[in-house]
Amino acid sequence: MKSSRSVPTEVVTVPVEVRLLFFLIIAVVISTDKMMAQNSHSVETTLAAYTGVRNDGQITYHYLEVLQTRGKWILPDVGYIDLAEPGKYREIFFGGGAVLHNSKHLTVVEEGYVNQTTGPASGGALYFMPWTLVSYHPTSKITSETVYFPYLPLNKTGRIQHVLERSKLEYDFPRFKVGAGYGAYRFGDGEWQSKPFVTSTIKAGRVGSVELWLQKMPEHHFQVQVRYVRVFP
């Protein structure tokens, strides 16, 4: 890893999709009080902000998501992701879903998103993304969690993709969690790219949680991911 990096002199322009997303997030938060007055379920708002940096110092992605949960229903759920170069490629997605099953040992969540890509490298591809989470917790201290979603093209410029975002096993200590897992990605008919990782999560109560991943990447690289999540009751 480089010991020093030059400071860029160009002005960083925030993509219009990011600005629109922030306006949408503000609208969602403002509407919460009105929705609560009409709904017997309390509303929880979850904020998730992730980023990653590769061992050569390159930023791999930026991710921002805001969702609201009302009982078993998850709606709305909006987010943004870019792959380190927001001027060339970015995605903005929105959707919702529900908790299909929630018991002592098993939780199943299903959501659906419409995902619009933008930027000169995107081709304007539009996707539908069914998103599945399965969490199995045989004891109060051990949890297994798997998240999978495909990119299903809705126009001619899209290509089918498969994302095993995480399949991990964690042990829960009073103030932190540790574990290991596996991720994978496939584009079109190409080969699967394997991305195993180890993880540790710091639990900070009302402030939220910070999860750190050390993940193997293709071509002998690895990345460190920082994943911040906070729930607002």
SS (H, E, C) the chain: CCCCCCCCCCCCCCCHHHHHHHHHHHHHHHHHHHHHHHCCCCEEEEEEEEEEEECCCCEEEEEEEEEEEECCEEEEEEEEEECCCCCCCEEEEEEEEEEEEECCCEEEEEEEEEEEEECCCCCCCEEEEEEEEEEECCCCCEEEEEEEEEEEECCCCCCCEEEEEEEEEEEECCCEEEEEEEEEEEECCCCCEEEEEEEEEEECHHHCEEEEEEEEECCCEEEEEEEEEEEEC
130-160: pLDDT as tens digits: 999 999 999 999 999 999 999 999 999 999 9
Instruction: Kindly state whether residue 169 falls inside one of the protein's structural domains.
Output: yes
The pLDDT of residue 226 = 98
Cα 53 off chain centre by = 16
Instruction: Kindly state whether residue 5 falls inside one of the protein's structural domains.
Output: no
CATH code of the domain covering residue 64: 2.40.160.40
pTM above 0.85, yes or no: no
- Predicted confidence (pLDDT) at residue 7 exceeds the cutoff of 90: no
Cα 62 off chain centre by = 10
Instruction: Kindly state whether residue 164 falls inside one of the protein's structural domains.
Output: yes
Rounded to an integer, what distance in angstroms lies between the CA atom of residue 117 and that of residue 181?
A: 28
Instruction: Kindly state whether residue 7 falls inside one of the protein's structural domains.
Output: no
Structural domain range at position 66: 16-232
The pLDDT of residue 147 = 98
The pLDDT of residue 72 = 96
- Predicted confidence (pLDDT) at residue 5 exceeds the cutoff of 80: no
| The dihedral formed by the CA atoms of 195, 205, 63 and 161, expressed in degrees to the nearest 10 | 40
- Cα distances (angstroms) measured from residue 109 to each of 134, 137, 138, 177: 7, 14, 18, 22
The pLDDT of residue 31 = 54
Instruction: Kindly state whether residue 52 falls inside one of the protein's structural domains.
Output: yes
Instruction: Kindly state whether residue 134 falls inside one of the protein's structural domains.
Output: yes
Query: CB of 147 within 8 A of CB of 132?
Result: yes
Instruction: Kindly state whether residue 3 falls inside one of the protein's structural domains.
Output: no
Residue 188 sits at φ, ψ, to 5 deg, of 60, -130
Instruction: Kindly state whether residue 20 falls inside one of the protein's structural domains.
Output: yes
Cα 210 off chain centre by = 13
47-89: pLDDT as tens digits: 999 999 999 999 999 999 999 999 999 999 999 999 878 889 9
Token digits of residue 226 = 């920082």
The pLDDT of residue 19 = 57
25-50: pLDDT as tens digits: 555 555 544 554 455 568 999 999 99
159-201: pLDDT as tens digits: 999 999 999 999 999 999 999 999 999 999 999 999 999 999 9
The residue among 142, 147, 181 whose CA lies nearest residue 163 is 147
Question: Number of folded domains in the chain?
Answer: 1
